[in-house]
Amino acid sequence: MEQKADSEAIPNSSASTSEAPTPAPTQTHAVLDQGLGGILGVKAGMTQVFTEDGESLAVTVIDLKPTVVTQVKTVAKEGYKAVQVGFLNKKAKSATKPEQGHAKKAGATGFYHYQEFRFSPSDKLDGVSVGQVLSPGFLKSGDLVDLTSKSKGKGFQGGVKRFHMAGGYKSHGASLSHRQLGSIGNRADPGKCFKNKKMPGHMGHEKVTVSNVRVVRVDTENQLLLVHGSVPGPRSGIVMIRRAVKNSGSKTLNKAKATQ
């Protein structure tokens, strides 16, 4: 008996494999050097560096992760000039359809944090376009910056910790009143507790800005920024970095000129 030949053709390996994904476009870099500038980073922690004179400086390391431009707002269309950026990439499975659609032009599927940097109508943003990654080119060692981030949340706290109140007497007879507020109002007149009275409540986890922080080092190769001193918030907290509004150096210089 003759052996029956296989009639089925061997499937083509090239046809069975799925199409290769489209490579992401190469991201270019842009610098927001107009106005106060702007870039985002993540607080990585604290360390120390030594100056040329051997002086030890306590510094905070800010990781300048990619800050992608997602929208450029103009006076003609939105009524004001600003650059919207996305920070910390989000996977497609975690992003909603509107989020994916908004971030599609920037070559991403979504971001965990969005931020706007506003500028005056006279500032020029011709070289900034959607999809670019912001660069810390507007900063150099010795500059003064303002750092904005969320402070550490401490939950519900009493008046002694929240507002540094003195509390009650610690001596004999002051039973159960060591850390109490004391009087919070008057008698029949006004017969109420005034608004904004300092009392126990939620403490921390609020927007805090530290002014005139000195830039110690800008590491463009590793995308790190070293600033002198501490920065509000926990490690892995998002930090907004802009040029200092109240530049103490310029104030001192102007005061010296005025006295001459």
- Return the pLDDT at 13: 46
Scored b (16 or more CB within 10 A) or e, 20-51 reads eeeeeeeeeebbbbbbbbbbbbbbbeeeeeee
Domain count along the chain: 1
The DSSP string of the chain is -PPPPP-SPPPPHHHHSPPPPPPPPPPPEE---STT--EEEEEEEEEEEE-TT--EEEEEEEE---EEEEEEE-TTTTSSEEEEEEEEE--GGGS-HHHHHHHGGGTSS-EEEEEEEEE-TTS--TT--TT-EE-GGG--TT-EEEEEEEPPP-EEE-HHHHH----S--STT-TT-TT-----S-BTTB-SPPTT---SEEES-SEEEEEEEEEEEEETTTTEEEEES--SS-TT-EEEEEE-SS-HHHHHHHHHHHH-
Residue 174 located in a structural domain: yes
- CB contact at 8 A, 215 and 142: yes
Residue 52 located in a structural domain: no
| Total-model pTM | 0.79
Cα dihedral 219, 224, 225, 228 sign: negative
Residue 165 located in a structural domain: yes
Tell me which residue has tokens 């530290």. Answer: 210
Residue 230 located in a structural domain: no
How many Å apart are CA 243 and CA 148, to the nearest integer? 11
Residue 94 located in a structural domain: no
- Return the pLDDT at 10: 46
- Return the pLDDT at 260: 41
- Return the pLDDT at 17: 43
How many Å apart are CA 115 and CA 35, to the nearest integer? 16
CA atoms within 13 A on the CB side of 208: 15
Residue 247 located in a structural domain: no
Domain extent at residue 171: 158-184
Residue 176 located in a structural domain: yes
Per-residue pLDDT 10s for the chain (260 aa) are 445 544 444 445 444 444 444 444 567 888 998 999 999 999 999 999 998 899 999 999 999 999 999 999 999 999 999 999 999 999 999 999 999 999 999 999 999 999 999 999 999 888 899 999 999 999 999 999 999 999 999 999 999 999 999 988 888 888 888 998 888 888 888 889 999 999 999 999 999 999 999 999 999 999 999 999 999 999 999 999 999 999 755 444 444 444 44
Using alpha carbons only, what angle is made at residue 193 by residues 188 and 199, rounded to the nearest 5 degrees? 145
Residue 163 located in a structural domain: yes
